[in-house]
Amino acid sequence: MNDTFLKACRGEKVDYTPVWIMRQAGRYLAEYRAVRGKADFLTMCKTPELAAEVTIQPIDILNVDAAILFSDILIPCEAMGQGLDFHEGKGPILGPPIRDEDTVKKLFVPDPEESMGFVMDAIRLLRKALSNRVPLIGFAGAPFTTATYMIEGGTSKGFLHTKRMIYENPALYKSFMDKVTATITEYLKAQVAAGAQAVQIFDTWGGIFSPADFRMHALSYVQQIIKDLKEWMQKRGETVPVIYFVGSTAGLLEEIKTSGADVFGVDWRINIDDAAKRLGGDVVVQGNLDPLSLFLPKDKIEENVKDVLSRASSARGHIFNLGHGVVPETPRDNVIALVEMVHRLSKK
Amino acid sequence: MNDTFLKACRGEKVDYTPVWIMRQAGRYLAEYRAVRGKADFLTMCKTPELAAEVTIQPIDILNVDAAILFSDILIPCEAMGQGLDFHEGKGPILGPPIRDEDTVKKLFVPDPEESMGFVMDAIRLLRKALSNRVPLIGFAGAPFTTATYMIEGGTSKGFLHTKRMIYENPALYKSFMDKVTATITEYLKAQVAAGAQAVQIFDTWGGIFSPADFRMHALSYVQQIIKDLKEWMQKRGETVPVIYFVGSTAGLLEEIKTSGADVFGVDWRINIDDAAKRLGGDVVVQGNLDPLSLFLPKDKIEENVKDVLSRASSARGHIFNLGHGVVPETPRDNVIALVEMVHRLSKK
């Protein structure tokens, strides 16, 4: 088994820097688009065979060191009782938006196997299909990032409704977040029980806060999840690493280091050596190439890869990744080349 | 004359912390909406009397320590030869998008008095109307931020076209940016010549880069502008301070400090004492309350104001501001209260 990724997560010595890519199962691959042509996005998420198929594609095509379950961070929102739909080119629509006591009250904390069993089925299917070629990463949205979609009713530019709830009605926000946090905790446990070998918590929008507000309104819920998950794992004798990824982290690193995570995802807006230093130095970092720098010619991509590898060598461990998901327009060849470069240039 | 703002810009001692608010002339004021009801946004920008009227409103209503010219950072794009329109609720539309040699070639570096004379007329009108009550700030978009609108054709989420031009065709990007930079340099000189007593350069989208890319593709053009402007001012015996505001700065502060600006605008995603320290310590900072924290109850706003004032006391100078523009839904009373709090709590 290629366990380089898991070793790196634990801060152990590795022969080369492992690499996977956020949204590696995505539209930049013709093979993905072929599957997507047969089923809409949500159907793909809910059909374990299709989800497993596109999860495995980048393992074969890119030679990455980990698979990440194909799914969406908004799956638990539907399970909590909110309507969820994806419109082509428009992004997700969630309804009704959660903005008052009534809508919060109607939400429930679902049993993940009952209401999101298709995710766990996909994990079980994938563990068999991968038969230990590479580890499988499960994931969930962090409570705050998940909540923004539920409050705004979809994507947002300014997060006005979310921040209004937080600032105008903090008690309502807290009662809502307690439900979201409980849901995501149980969801991650179910993923680990089904066979996920690492989990990543995505806090894509965590960076819209001041440090104090981030700590109080986003991080505190992630800390709860990680603590709860780790205690639960300890009882079961499991040591599945937890990766915490926050977007626009540069002002928040001193907060993020208290999350309890094993690995810290870093976006491209800061040098990864500075990030590692501010996270405490002796940490495992994941990142952090600008996804759009994959439009550079290959020799320039290689310069950037060298730079990230060299900077990240100051940390205890490094998992190479982009600083955010790969975009659909990305030249597939450059993504394949990226993985090859990371492996070649980091070889000990 | 209330010259507290200008003194603070120069790092001189002041009796209290001066405050102004980005987008202080805006839709959160009924008085502004009344003017806006009579004319569309672009007509307001192009009619010196209307622009002057809404520029003065917040001086009367809020008691802020500086006026900022009512205008838009996209005014120079139209003067360069690109079509500009504002659609209600949709934001600006620029056309055709600048994406190839042909569209770049058609752009020209305009004479600001000839093509944007209404801006300079508004400044001259305002200097008379304000008759030294408070100083008047002029402004322009930074070349990179301006260029994103021109390349994307409007606002953008991922800046795909902009980054593709930068990464796939850096020579084209540079030739385009040289024109934008020359335009903005002349535009700022014209504003100063007309009577602007400080200028702010808005690099709202500068934070979408890695530090190295920011330096090369955004900051270098700002450095050129500031150097050119300062040499020009020196010959004229002027010492108009330059404020450089970048959005999502937290990963870029070590770069930003080399811009040549007199004052550094800081958004709310980082503590302002950390920002000041990383900018070199002995600097003048402007900021940095989260605009949406104005939805908090007044006692909580006051706590936040105290916190910002206390943190900013570590810098050489501080001008209080929000970390970004005030949003239309903001309770007007809270904005008035904010200015009163800053004055009261910072009184020496």
Going along chain B from its start, the domains and CATH numbers come out as: 4-346 (3.20.20.210)
Q: What residues in chain B have their Cβ under 8 A from chain A's Cβ atoms?
A: 157-160, 163-164, 167-168, 207-213, 248, 250-252, 268-271, 274, 290, 292-293, 295-296, 300, 307, 327, 329
* pLDDT (mean) for B277-306: 97
CA B166 to chain centre: 24
Residue with tokens 């956020």: A22
Query: Which residue among B160, B211, B252 places its CB closest to the CB of A292?
Result: B160
- Annotated catalytic residue, options A10, A36, A133, A269: A36
CB-based contact A292 B164, cutoff 8 Å: yes
* Chain A residues touching residue B158 (CB < 8 angstroms): 292, 327
User: Helix, strand, or coil here: B139?
Assistant: strand
User: Helix, strand, or coil here: B71?
Assistant: coil
Rounded to whole angstroms, the Cα distance separating A250 from A208 reads: 11
* Ordered DSSP codes for A4-18: HHHHHHTT---SS--
Beta bridge partners of residue B199, listed in sequence order: B138, B242
Task: Output the pLDDT for position A87.
Answer: 84
Q: Token pair for residue A243?
A: 């990766």
CB B308 within 8 A of CB B314: no
Residue with tokens 């700022």: B188
* pLDDT (mean) for B120-136: 97
Task: Output the pLDDT for position B278.
Answer: 95
The packing angle between helices B170-194 and B220-236, to 10°, is 30
State the SS3 of A132-188. Answer: CCCCEEEEEECHHHHHHHHHHCECCCCCHHHHHHHHHCHHHHHHHHHHHHHHHHHHH
CB-based contact B292 A158, cutoff 8 Å: yes
> For residue B145, what pLDDT band results from cuts at 50, 70 and 90?
very high
What length does chain B have? 348
Which parts of chain A have pLDDT scores under 50? none
CB-based contact B269 A209, cutoff 8 Å: yes
- Annotated catalytic residue, options A149, A173, A187, A221: A149
Average pLDDT over chain B reads 97
Q: What is the DSSP letter of A219?
A: I
Task: Output the pLDDT for position A157.
Answer: 85
Task: Output the pLDDT for position A328.
Answer: 96
Q: Is the per-residue pLDDT at B194 higher than 80?
A: yes
Compute how many other C-beta atoms are within 10 angstroms of the C-beta atom of residue A258: 13
The packing angle between helices A170-194 and A160-168, to 10°, is 120
Tell me the pLDDT tens digit for each residue of B4-31: 999 999 999 999 999 999 999 999 999 9
CB-based contact B211 A307, cutoff 8 Å: no
Tell me the pLDDT tens digit for each residue of A285-327: 999 999 999 999 999 999 999 999 999 999 999 999 999 999 9
Give the chain A residue whose CA is nearest to the CA of B308.
A210
Give the chain A residue whose CA is nearest to the CA of B254.
A270
CB A285 within 8 A of CB A315: yes
* pLDDT (mean) for B128-145: 97
* Chain B residues touching residue A203 (CB < 8 angstroms): none
Q: Is the per-residue pLDDT at B87 higher than 90?
A: no
Task: Output the pLDDT for position B311.
Answer: 98
B181 phi and psi angles, rounded to 5 deg: -65, -45
Rounded to whole angstroms, the Cα distance separating A236 from B137 reads: 63
Q: Token pair for residue A19?
A: 């690499």
Q: What is the DSSP letter of B85?
A: E
Give the chain A residue whose CA is nearest to the CA of B289.
A210
Rounded to whole angstroms, the Cα distance separating A340 from A279 reads: 28
CB A166 within 8 A of CB A173: yes
Q: Is the per-residue pLDDT at B90 higher than 90?
A: no
- Residue A286: partners with Cβ closer than 8 Å, 6 or more residues away: A243, A245, A263, A264, A265, A266, A318, A319, A320, A321
> For residue B284, what pLDDT band results from cuts at 50, 70 and 90?
very high
